[in-house]
Amino acid sequence: MTAKPLIIIIKKKGGHGGHHGGAWKVAYADFVTAMMALFIVLWLLSSSKQVQEAVGGYFRDPTGNSRKVGSDMQGAGESFSISKENMAQLKEELQKTMRQVPNFDKMKNHIDMTITSEGLRIELLESATSTFFESGNAAPNLDGQDILVALSKELGTLPNSIAVEGHTDSKPYSGKKNYSNWELSVDRANAARRLMQQNGIREDQIMQVRGFADQRLRKAEDPFDPSNRRVSLIVEYLNKRRDDLDDAPEGENKEGAKAKESEGTNPQRPKVPYL
C-alpha cells in the first residue's frame, strides 16, 4: 500500500517584527517630564519676585510652619510674608518703587531704611527746608504725599502689621497755645496713617500710632538737628507678637506675657500717647 506524502504547511505572520518591550514609553515619559520642567522654569523667570519667593518658600517648607515664607491667604494675591530671612528683599523692592516717585532725587537723602529687631524701619527725615511737612504743620506736603502713597501701594499687599511713629526735635513748638511737640508728633503720625489707609493700607494693618516728641532723637548729640523731625513706618515681622507669646517661659500665662509686651522691658522708657 502506497503511503500518502506528508504535507507540511508553513504560515508566516505579518505585521510587527519581534517584541520590542516598553523602553520607548519610559523614554517618552522622561521627555515629557523634562519639557514640563522647562516650561515651569520659564514661567518662574518671567514672574515677579513675590511669586518666585512664594513658590520657593512652599518647596522649602510646604506646611508653612517653620520659616513662615511662601504664599499667604491674607492680603493680595501676590503677597508674601515678611520674615527675618526675606526682609532685605522687601527693602530692595521698596527702594525700586520710590525711585519712580516724582522729585525722588531731591528726597532720596531724606529716606532711610534699616532692618531692626522689630522689622523694616522706614524713616522720612526732615531737613532745614522741611522736606515732607511744612514747618509746624501736621499735614504732609506734596512730596510727603507722593512717598506715602507709593509706600502704601506696596505695603498694602503684605500681611504684615505696621506701626507709625512721629518724632520732633527739641525746639519748643511756638504755634498754638496748649499745643506742644507731643501733639505735633502724634498728629503727623496720624496724618500719615490716614493718607496711607486711603491709598492701599488695610484698615486692620495699622497696629499702633505713636508719638514720641523729642524723647527718641535720631541724633542725640544734636537735639536741634532737622533730621530728628521724622515720621517712621515699621513693617513688623509676621506673627511677631504671637511668637513672643509662644516663647514665654513655661508657667507664665499668656496674659502676663501680653502685659509685659505692652509695658516694655525698659523701665526708663517714657510714656507715649497712643491713639
239 backbone dihedrals φ, ψ, rounded to 5°? 55, 30
Condensed to tens digits (0 to 9), the pLDDT of residues 163-219 reads 999 999 999 987 788 899 999 999 999 999 999 999 999 989 999 999 999 999 999
Q: Is the pLDDT of residue 16 over 80?
A: no
The per-residue pLDDT for 239 is 61
The per-residue pLDDT for 9 is 75
Rounded Cα distance between 108 and 139, Å, is 20
Is residue 124 very low, low, confident or very high in pLDDT (cuts 50, 70, 90)? very high
Q: Is the pLDDT of residue 223 over 90?
A: yes
| Contact (Cβ atoms closer than 8 angstroms) between residue 236 and residue 163 | yes
| Contact (Cβ atoms closer than 8 angstroms) between residue 84 and residue 237 | yes
Q: Is the pLDDT of residue 64 over 90?
A: no
Q: Is the pLDDT of residue 225 over 90?
A: yes
Taking residues 61-65, what's their average pLDDT? 58
168 backbone dihedrals φ, ψ, rounded to 5°? -130, 170
Q: Pick the more confident residue, 266 or 112.
A: 112
Domain boundaries, the chain: 24-71, 86-263
The per-residue pLDDT for 63 is 59
Grid coordinates belonging to 108: 532720596
Condensed to tens digits (0 to 9), the pLDDT of residues 144-163 reads 999 999 999 989 988 899 99
Mean of all residue pLDDT scores within the chain:
77
Taking residues 102-115, what's their average pLDDT? 87
Bridge partner residues of 124 (DSSP) = 111, 231
CATH fold of the domain at 86-263:
60s Ribosomal Protein L30; Chain: A; (3.30.1330)
Is residue 238 very low, low, confident or very high in pLDDT (cuts 50, 70, 90)? confident
Rounded Cα distance between 185 and 214, Å, is 9
Rounded Cα distance between 131 and 146, Å, is 12
Rounded Cα distance between 188 and 145, Å, is 12
The per-residue pLDDT for 66 is 43
List helix spans (H) across the chain.
23-46, 49-60, 87-98, 104-107, 142-155, 181-197, 240-246, 254-263
The per-residue pLDDT for 55 is 76
Taking residues 1-9, what's their average pLDDT? 71
| Contact (Cβ atoms closer than 8 angstroms) between residue 148 and residue 189 | no
| Contact (Cβ atoms closer than 8 angstroms) between residue 206 and residue 193 | yes
Reference 239, options 72, 125, 126; nearest CA is 72
Q: Is the pLDDT of residue 243 over 50?
A: no
89 backbone dihedrals φ, ψ, rounded to 5°? -65, -40
Rounded Cα distance between 54 and 82, Å, is 11
178 backbone dihedrals φ, ψ, rounded to 5°? 60, 30
Q: What is the SS3 assignment for 114? A: strand
| Contact (Cβ atoms closer than 8 angstroms) between residue 163 and residue 207 | yes
Q: Is the pLDDT of residue 15 over 60?
A: no
Rounded Cα distance between 166 and 191, Å, is 10
Is residue 273 very low, low, confident or very high in pLDDT (cuts 50, 70, 90)? very low
Q: Is the pLDDT of residue 229 over 50?
A: yes
